[in-house]
Amino acid sequence: MAILVIAEHDNAQLKAATRNAVTAAAKIGGDIHVLVAGAGCAAVADQAAKLAGVAQVKLADAAHYADQTAENLAALIVDVAKAGGYSHVLAPATANGKNALPRVAALLDVAQISDIVGVEGADTFVRPIYAGNALATVKSADAVKVITVRTTAFDAAADGGAASVAPVAAAADFGKSKLVGREITKSERPELTAAKVIVSGGRGVGNGDNYKALLEPLADKLGAALGASRAAVDAGFVPNDYQVGQTGKIVAPELYIAVGISGAIQHLAGMKDSKVIVAINKDPEAPIFQVADYGLVADLFEAVPQLTASL
């Protein structure tokens, strides 16, 4: 049995999410191969080869993989999966993984299992449904299991391996889609999905200036990433890639500080696996207090600066 893990990267750096997917693959058991597809991405393949537990790295380096469009990536993965006779194809459940893997599954005529949080056997997996309000255990009858992995549910695989890197042939360019622009939010802070501490603001913060003035100093003190509820994003306080929730990012830091967030089902779906949750809200009835380990009923405009000052 061999498992193919699709590496997430930006052509220069292997993204941490790949490490979590490798750990999930190790739980399934079998030889783990990593596919790195990109343009000028040999360095990424070398980084993947160092991951503990990885037996082989396959490198597809071609100009039409530079932007990692779903169409080109899926065609390549299908070729590699068929040629290698893999029993499982895994990718982290990131925007890229979610984009490409269902396409792979349909081309292989198999189901895709989304966002797994547990491995019960080679064909049986646990995944959240209904915004995380239920956990379904599903068994696949397909010959190839195509799976995306919820990164926060698996530890990151460490370095320590020494896999070989083998080139694989590129598939034909699909040609009907192309990337014409990319706007990446610049941030000096830790990446939201990998941060140990997250400070998150909601509608209660009032506006974008307050968000900056109140939450940034606190996040600086804690070395934290900044997050937000949908209300804060829709109101334009922060860009939408800050959003934590069912439809945004799923996070599970050591400490999640929710400031002025009521705690709607959709928000809780994105953060309730955090180790310690702190809620600061002036409404004692806010649902966020039902999941908070430490709740403080207070005016956030007083409490947050005090908290920042006392750290």
Partner 1 sequence: MKILVPVKRVVDYNVKVRVKSDGTGVDIANVKMSMNPFDEIAVEEAVRLKEAGIATEVVAVSAGVAACQETLRAALAIGADRAILIETSADEADNLQPLAVAKLLKALADKEQPQLVICGKQAIDDDANQVGQMLAALANWPQATFASKVVVAGDKATVTREVDGGLETLELALPAVISTDLRLNEPRYATLPNIMKAKKKPLDTVKPADLGVDVAPRLTTVKVAEPAKRQAGVMVADVAQLVEKLKNEAKVI
132 is in an annotated binding site: no
- In this structure, what are the phi and psi dihedrals at residue 132, rounded to the nearest 5 degrees? 80, 10
Element holding 304 (H helix, E strand): helix 300-309
CB 67 within 8 A of CB 174: no
End-to-end CA distance of the chain: 51
Number of residues that bind partner 1 (CB under 8 A): 86
- Which residue stretch of 19-27, 30-38, 156-164, 269-277 sits at the interface with partner 1 (rule: CB under 8 A)? 269-277
Question: Is residue 156 near partner 1 by the rule CB under 8 A?
Answer: no
**Subset of residues 239 to 258 that bind partner 1, contact rule: CB under 8 A:** 239-241, 246-247, 249, 254-255
Task: Name the DSSP letter for residue 155.
Answer: P
Question: Is residue 208 near partner 1 by the rule CB under 8 A?
Answer: no
Question: Is residue 200 near partner 1 by the rule CB under 8 A?
Answer: no
- Closest Cα to residue 232, out of 250, 272, 259, 198? 259
38: exposed, middle or buried (Cβ count in 10 Å: 0-12, 13-18, 19+): buried
- Which residue stretch of 31-39, 40-48, 159-167, 171-179 sits at the interface with partner 1 (rule: CB under 8 A)? 171-179
Question: Is residue 133 near partner 1 by the rule CB under 8 A?
Answer: yes
Q: Which of 31, 46, 79, 142 binds partner 1 (CB under 8 A)?
A: 142
CB 270 within 8 A of CB 248: yes
**Subset of residues 60 to 79 that bind partner 1, contact rule: CB under 8 A:** 69-71, 74
Q: Which of 56, 94, 200, 262 binds partner 1 (CB under 8 A)?
A: 94
Q: How far is the CB of 210 from partner 1 (least distance, A)?
A: 18
56 is in an annotated binding site: no
Element holding 45 (H helix, E strand): helix 42-49
Question: Is residue 193 near partner 1 by the rule CB under 8 A?
Answer: yes
5 is in an annotated binding site: no
Rounded CA-CA distance 242/273 in Å is 18
Q: Which of 42, 62, 213, 297 binds partner 1 (CB under 8 A)?
A: 297
Question: Is residue 271 near partner 1 by the rule CB under 8 A?
Answer: no
**Subset of residues 1 to 60 that bind partner 1, contact rule: CB under 8 A:** none
Task: Name the DSSP letter for residue 94.
Answer: S
Measured in whole angstroms, the distance separating CA 130 from the mean position of its chain's CA atoms is 19
244 is in an annotated binding site: yes
CB 52 within 8 A of CB 182: no
247 is in an annotated binding site: yes
Q: Which residues are annotated as a binding site for FAD?
A: 203, 229-230, 243-247, 260-267, 281
